[in-house]
Amino acid sequence: MNQGMASLARSPSAMSITRIPQGHSKILQLLKASKVPYVLPFRRVHIRRSPVCCTKFPQWEPSPATYALTEKAGDKFLDKSSELFETLRSESSDSKDEASITKAEDRTDTTNQPVAQLQFLKWPLWLLGPSVLLGTGMVPTLWLPISTIFIGPNVVSLLSLIGLDCIFNLGCTLFLLMADYCAKSKNLGQASKSKPPVSYQFWNLVATLTGLAIPLMMLFGSQKGYLQPQLPFIPYAVLLGPYILLLSVQMLTEMLTWHWESPIWLVTPVVYEAYRVLQLMRGLKLGVELSAPAWMMHTIRGLVCWWVLILGVQLMRVAWFAGFTARAQRQQSSASADA
């Protein structure tokens, strides 16, 4: 206490030591005697630690890598680091693209395998479909004797003729289903829908309604006595009843194909109209058996001519559609080549 007081304050970087000058010893004794608090001014002395450098390292400890950057090299280092990040990003994006491409190829391979298998199933249908149509429609009409179908102007003959047409309708339905299956695209992901033009729908409705209105007008005129000699209802139903029924089925089938946008909308009327010509020719033979009046025979002949004309128009429509699809494919190929 007589010589001075010292206080030490230590920190992580420096150590400060304070000491009291010797001239203040008398003042301290007086302060102790008078018991008056007095704050002593302390002087701080900073002691710096010198760094210890060790150049030798143990054998098991690797030497640290040192980098010395100058002002000019700093900018180049930053540029190289940015280029490094850009290359990493490009490599990551390239790897993602390659992964997506490999996934897409795997998907196409997996989808092409069932498609290739389904193509083998389509080949027999090209022969099976027309064979079903021939066996259910043409063979009974051409080779079955009329005497086994037509017994007389009665309900039994009417039902037998309707059953014969129902067999054809069953075969026609199977044929159209096979044609729709064969008309689908090879790639299942692509849509194979085909919508007919409005003009085509209007023309088909006009032709079908005209072919339906003519026999109904003949029936109305015969029942009212406008046409002589008058024809009873049962002989009239035997001659034109199956024709009216099958024509109604054709209208319903065509409307369904239009609604479903099936690619067989162009084939459906051709199949029904070809059979209708044979159906009306059978009606001419039955008219001779029934001794039908002349106006009835002329009506059936007029219907035969009408449907032959409509069938020719339908075949012209098929040729037009083939040319239209060829032009569309050329335009698509030219557009893809330009792109």
Domain extents in the chain: 118-187+196-330
pLDDT per residue as tens digits for the range 177-199: 999 988 876 554 455 678 888 99
pLDDT per residue as tens digits for the range 226-280: 998 999 999 999 999 999 999 999 999 999 999 998 989 999 999 999 999 999 9
Q: How many CA atoms lie within 13 A of 105 on its CB side?
A: 6
pLDDT per residue as tens digits for the range 204-213: 999 999 999 9
What's the Rg (C-alpha) of the chain? 52
Between residues 324 and 319, the one the model is more confident about: 319
pLDDT per residue as tens digits for the range 14-49: 444 444 455 455 555 654 554 544 444 444 445 555
155 token code pair: 């309900």
In the chain, DSSP assigns E strands to 7-10, 14-18, 45-48
Which of 197-204's residues contact partners 24+ apart within 8 Å by CB, and which partners?
200/317, 201/258, 203/313, 204/254, 204/269
Residue 90: band (very low, low, confident or very high) from pLDDT cuts 50, 70, 90: low
331 token code pair: 């335009």
3-state secondary structure of 10: strand
pTM of the model: 0.64
Average confidence score pLDDT of the chain: 75
CB–CB of 240/159 below 8 Å?
no
In b/e form, how buried is each residue of 195-208, taking b as 16+ CB within 10 angstroms?
A: ebeeebeebbeebb
